[in-house]
Amino acid sequence: MIFINPDSRTNKDIPNLAVSYATTVYRSRVIDLNTMPDPGDRFYDEKENDYVLSVQSRNYGHARKIKEEILLKRPHASVRTLKGILDIQCCYPFVTFDETLSIDIPFSDHLPFPDYSLLDSFQIFLAKWQSGEWYYPLMTSIGCPFQCTYCMSRRRVYKTRSVDNCIDELRHAQVKWDIKKFCIMDDCFNLKKGRVLEFAAKTKPLNLEWICSNGLRADLFDEEIADAIRASGCRHLSFGAESASDRILERIQKGETLAQIEKAVSIAKPRFDSVNGFFIFGLPGTTMEDDIENLCFILKHGINAHLSVYVPFDKGLQIDAIFNKTSSGVPLDNDLSSQSNRMLRWAEWIGIRESSLPAIFKYMCRLIFLIKYRPGLLPKQFLTIMRMVYAKSLSSN
């Protein structure tokens, strides 16, 4: 049996954890086309006739194509999709089609530590982990009881590993692979304050630098947590802000107010090397002014921002009615979320303050796909938005 991780065209620095756990259980190798896309047809070289694809919404189209190609060349091959252990990673659901290989081990201390050396891209990870360029991924919990309407992780049973088990994994990775840094991959890491404080206290002796790459909840963040995780080596964190409008926050059932987000940012900014906010353009009910307010919020607070575009679909990859109304129809096999996943690293955005038409032009080029998914947002209007943002950023200086 051989596993395949299709190309998501994003998060090249993060291994697919579902396939990594599964392959550790089965002691099988993984062809990792995400971190090592070339040669893209190397699965043909395998003697195996039993393939298992680990499919996420963001690589659905590529996974389908791989399956077709395998069956074209080897009509008698078995091509299944992986089900189990994790159902979501980085907010993208794992999905299946046709036959599945199901693994029933619950997310708990019973899971083995992932053996990433089974990925054929492992040497890339190893070199990057050892140089400290990439972060070793650590999933301490999955699930989230909150109900943010745009989020695939919503209303899922919250399951944890013990803190001691997580620390053991980090020690193991330190000894075996000489990792220098790690990142927390949880859907909602700061759901339980006591657990975060325990984690911080037990992580500190490892002397590893770490980050919270997924969004923390601003309403559950306070000075005590900030001081504890900073002291234990956390250098960078993110908040799932989503919108700078209370009206939109209410509509998406975020369960947070703008004041709470601002407070969390003000606690984090002086303590951490960088603070990031996740924002989503085009949430249901937003106007262009709301989206502009997001940009202004980012400027005002001088944070990095991770922007994405709202692309509604359900776990079965059904595009919802709102999107159908405003788009001219996006084919299902078109990797919806990988389109939206061209998130924009907003470190560059801050540069717009000091400059500059070229910076704005660069920014606009990177936002071109926004126009694609908001057909009502024509280039002329887009230029108007940018002029407004630019003017507002100058006046706030």
Matching residue, tokens 């989230």: 144
Residue 238 binds ligand SF4 (CB under 6 A): no
Closest to ligand SF4 by CB, 187 vs 335, is 187
- Give the C-alpha distances (Å, rounded to integers) separating 65 from 15, 153, 297: 21, 27, 41
Locate 62 and state its tokens: 């590529």
Residue 93 binds ligand SF4 (CB under 6 A): no
**Edge-to-edge, what's the strand order for the sheet holding 92-95?**
55-56, 92-95, 88-89
Size of the site for ligand SF4 (CB under 6 A): 11
Question: Which of 15-23, 47-55, 151-159, 283-291 is the region at the interface with ligand SF4 (rule: CB under 6 A)?
Answer: 151-159
**Edge-to-edge, what's the strand order for the sheet holding 304-309?**
136-138, 181-184, 209-216, 234-242, 274-281, 304-309, 344-345
Question: Which of 28-36, 60-68, 150-158, 365-373 is the region at the interface with ligand SF4 (rule: CB under 6 A)?
Answer: 150-158
The rounded distance, in Å, linking the Cα atoms of 63 and 67 is 6
The rounded distance, in Å, linking the Cα atoms of 378 and 339 is 19
Least distance in Å: CB of 196 to ligand SF4? 15
Residue 306 binds ligand SF4 (CB under 6 A): no
Closest to ligand SF4 by CB, 100 vs 257, is 257
Closest to ligand SF4 by CB, 79 vs 211, is 211
Residue 258 binds ligand SF4 (CB under 6 A): no
Site string for ligand SF4, 152-171 (x = CB under 6 A): -xx-----------------
Give the one residue of 2, 82, 126, 151 binding ligand SF4; rule: CB under 6 A: 151
Cβ neighbours around 395 below 10 Å, total: 7
Least distance in Å: CB of 234 to ligand SF4? 18
Least distance in Å: CB of 241 to ligand SF4? 10
Residue type for position 103? I
Q: C-alpha angle with apex 195: 308 to 173, nearest 5 degrees?
A: 75
Residue 217 binds ligand SF4 (CB under 6 A): yes
Residue 173 binds ligand SF4 (CB under 6 A): no
- Give the C-alpha distances (Å, rounded to integers) separating 145 from 18, 215, 257, 319: 21, 15, 18, 23
Angle formed by the axes of helices 258-268 and 288-301, nearest 10°: 20
Q: Using CB under 6 A, which residues numbered 125 to 144 contact ligand SF4? A: 144
Matching residue, tokens 């040669």: 39
Least distance in Å: CB of 277 to ligand SF4? 13
71 CA to centre of own chain: 31
Task: Tell me if 15 sits within 8 A of 119, measured CB to CB.
Answer: yes
Residue 67 binds ligand SF4 (CB under 6 A): no
Closest to ligand SF4 by CB, 237 vs 360, is 237
- Give the C-alpha distances (Å, rounded to integers) separating 230 from 166, 197, 212, 226, 227: 18, 11, 11, 6, 5
Residue 188 binds ligand SF4 (CB under 6 A): yes
Residue 2 binds ligand SF4 (CB under 6 A): no
Closest to ligand SF4 by CB, 126 vs 188, is 188
Question: Which of 35-43, 118-126, 148-156, 284-292 is the region at the interface with ligand SF4 (rule: CB under 6 A)?
Answer: 148-156
Closest to ligand SF4 by CB, 67 vs 154, is 154
Residue 118 binds ligand SF4 (CB under 6 A): no
Give the one residue of 148, 211, 249, 265 binding ligand SF4; rule: CB under 6 A: 148
Least distance in Å: CB of 338 to ligand SF4? 19
Locate 348 and state its tokens: 């560059």
Task: Tell me if 278 sits within 8 A of 242, measured CB to CB.
Answer: yes
Closest to ligand SF4 by CB, 101 vs 216, is 216
Locate 101 and state its tokens: 């290989």
Residues of this chain that interact with ligand SF4 (CB under 6 A) are 144, 146, 148, 151, 153-154, 187-188, 215, 217, 240
